[in-house]
Amino acid sequence: MAQVDQFVTVADTVRPTIAARGKPHVVIIGGGFAGLNAAKGLAEAPVKVTVIDRRNHHLFAPLLYQVATAQLSPANIAQPIRSILRKQENANVLLGEVAGIDTQARTVELDSGRILAYDYLVVAVGATHSYFGHDEWAPMAPGLKTIDDATEIRKRILLAFEHAENEPDPRKREAMLTFVVIGGGPTGVELAGAIGEIAGHTLVKEFENIDPRDSRILLLEGLPRILPMFPEALSVDAEKDLAKFGVQVRTNSLVTDIDEHGVNIGDERIDANTVIWAAGVQVSRLTQVLRNLAELDRAGRVPVERELHIAGHPEIFVVGDAASVKTRDGKPVPGVAPAAMQEGKWAAANIVRAVNGHSYTPFRYQDKGSLATIGRHQAVASVKGRNFNGFLAWWMWMVVHVFYLNGLRNRTLVISQWAFSYLSFGRNARLITGEQPKTLEKKS
């Protein structure tokens, strides 16, 4: 039977004081935007912090599409959590998947069987894509959430051109050069625009038998417009900008089936060898263990009080994409990185207040606006009620992303990669890794 770690004691009161029983133990599940900011927010607090993540790195997901489209290398957008927190003396980092939470005993259990007791728990497990009940589509249409997903998508995109180069049958070649991106949110728009740049600029003149500019790139969205979270005028701008990169946008287009050779939209068939999924949100499975404490929404988000803890459980905070948080006027806080960072910091501040004998304060969300890039010189931004597009929005997008990226090394590398790509139209990370089909021959 697993043993409870002895270096902490289980809390016997909801708001323990340091004088009463030593340093409280704060366990944070997830080293993403919310979890990492919660940990940093506790740096000066008289608590012991343990951050548990199933990956050893913090991932800057907003730039993941650039790894999937060969612009950046994986290490440019990820950093070991252990290294980020190395100077924080009260923090400890554990690599492992949390498999269960015992809210009565106040313990979490890792998949290794190790059990840790907590006084305060911060659940910051994030979300992934949802196939709306069609998980069988996943192998044919990978989604983009992890570094592994990004390198798999990169491989599929680059291999499509290689396969087409070797394919004598024009019908098959056409399917090989057809790319379908499903989901017209920021990730889908960014992926489709970047594939357009690869086909229209990066790979031109590199092949003998095909012209990459003949590629067909489709962005499918089930709703009446792409980027539904942006003002309508920016959705229209984005659609026009995507057309400049050769992307055809199809709205009101619900995909009804996906197989190895393409997709169906009702009776319509689109033959395509590369299909990418950029739709739907599903919270990490772990929140299911909290469903006896709160009614989860359809995506598995945990509803929390304005102070960010579960109702009746002031010792359990849920933050970031895993939480369903409402603003003061009852609007849902969006599942974006700035919201996750703010919630992580706020949960930490409330824990500090509690250990100092003060009561919690309600979360106040600061909307920093929305940004999506489409390609060279093209982006859309909506900030404090003002709309921006084109070159200015593209600059704003770059500055914001570099600003929030973790670590000076990564910032410098990303800026230099972008400068190189800007000047040369090239993409630095065009590696096809993993198993490769034997039929591929080198171009002589």
Ligand X SMILES: Cc1cc2nc3c(=O)[nH]c(=O)nc-3n(C[C@H](O)[C@H](O)[C@H](O)COP(=O)(O)OP(=O)(O)OC[C@H]3O[C@@H](n4cnc5c(N)ncnc54)[C@H](O)[C@@H]3O)c2cc1C
| Binding region for ligand X (CB under 6 A) | 29-35, 52-55, 61-62, 64-65, 97-98, 124-126, 144-145, 186-187, 284, 286, 320-322, 335-338, 340
Q: Which residue is nearest to ligand X (CB)?
A: 32
Backbone torsion region of residue 106, taken as left when φ is above 0, otherwise alpha when ψ lies between -120 and 50, otherwise beta: left
Nearer to ligand X, 177 or 388 (CB): 388
Q: How many CA atoms lie within 13 Å of 409's alpha carbon, on the beta-carbon side? A: 8
Residue 359 DSSP one-character state: P
- Per annotation, catalytic residue among 109, 167, 190, 239: 190
Q: Is 222 left (phi over 0), alpha (psi -120 to 50) or beta?
A: alpha
Round to whole Å and give the CA distance between 280 and 271: 23
Q: Are 255 and 264 in contact (CB under 8 A)?
A: yes
Contact in structure between 4 and 110 (CB atoms under 8 Å) = no
Least distance CB 15 / ligand X (angstroms): 25
The residue among 264 and 387 lying less far from ligand X, judged by its C-beta, is 387
Under DSSP, the state recorded for 75 is G
CB of 272 to ligand X, least distance (A): 21
* Residue 260 a catalytic site member: no
Residue 229 or 243 having the CB closest to ligand X: 229
Two tokens, residue 344 = 């992580």
Instruction: State the minimum distance, in angstroms, from the CB of residue 168 to ligand X.
Output: 36
CA distance 78 to 410: 8
Coil, strand or helix: which one is 121?
strand
Smallest Cα–Cα separation from 374: which of 205, 214, 236?
236
Whether 353 and 359 have beta carbons less than 8 Å apart is answered as yes
Q: Tell me whether residue 200 or residue 300 sits nearer to ligand X (CB atom).
A: 300
Task: For ligand X, give the closer residue by CB, 164 or 396.
Answer: 396
Task: Please choose, from the candidates 215, 190, 204, 229, the residue with its C-alpha nearest in 3D space to the C-alpha of residue 375.
Answer: 190
Distance in Å, CB of 56 to ligand X, minimum: 9
C-beta of 98: minimal distance to ligand X in Å? 4
In the complex with ligand X, which residue's Cβ is closer, 194 or 336? 336
| Residue given tokens 């039929």 in the structure block | 439
Q: How far is the CB of 416 from ligand X (least distance, A)?
A: 21
- What are the structure tokens assigned to 320, written together? 């970031």
CA distance 231 to 88: 41
Looking at the annotation, which residues are catalytic? 190
